[in-house]
Amino acid sequence: MARIFDLTTNREPADVWLDLRTMLVPQQASETAYAGDMQTIMVVEDDPDVAAGIMSILSEAGHCLVGPFESADAAEVSAALHDVDVALVDINLSSDANGIDLARSLKARWGVPTILMSGDVTALSALGGLADAVMLKPFGAKALREAIQTLAGPSATPAASPE
């Protein structure tokens, strides 16, 4: 199962299991947010440093997290297991399927709104109406929280945290 989610398996089994568990069980939000503010957000990003930063920002804002996933295939499997409110997807992933294909699938199968991310402004501008929002990398915590809030609607105002 760890290989399905692109986890390194040449580690202690307990460490692999902890990572696998974060893929399968949504992470609880911090207690600083109100229950009405919490959104379940899927994070699909193949750069570990970027993914860690996004997860930290969203966790501090009080959201429930699914991921991060490095591949579209792993995210697709997990989407079937979780009620995802918003997906944050990098358009260029290291797997065969890319973020654009994943966004189409998430929208068609589950109606999940997506925020597509890339450092390539030309690629983002060519997406047309596929994405519900786009984020040009690098972006800050405030811009990410505002994009989530815009997609989630007025009932999901994340707790403020510093840039």
pLDDT more than 90, % of the chain: 40
Fold of 13-26+37-149: Rossmann fold (3.40.50)
Q: What is the pLDDT of residues 52-88, one digit of tens each?
A: 999 999 999 889 999 999 889 889 888 888 899 999 9
Task: Indicate if the pLDDT at residue 157 is higher than 60.
Answer: no
With 60 as the cut, is the pLDDT of residue 27 above it? no
Q: What is the pLDDT of residues 1-21, one digit of tens each?
A: 555 555 666 777 766 666 666
Bridge partners, 69 (sequence order): 44
Contact (Cβ atoms closer than 8 angstroms) between residue 114 and residue 107? yes
Query: What residue ranges do the domains of the chain occupy?
Result: 13-26+37-149
CA distances from 38 to 64, 124, 160 (A): 6, 27, 13
Tens digit of pLDDT for each residue in 75-131?
988 888 889 999 999 998 876 778 999 999 999 999 999 999 999 888 888 886 788
Instruction: Kindly state the tokens that stand for 50.
Output: 């970027």
The pLDDT score that the predictor gives to residue 136 is 92
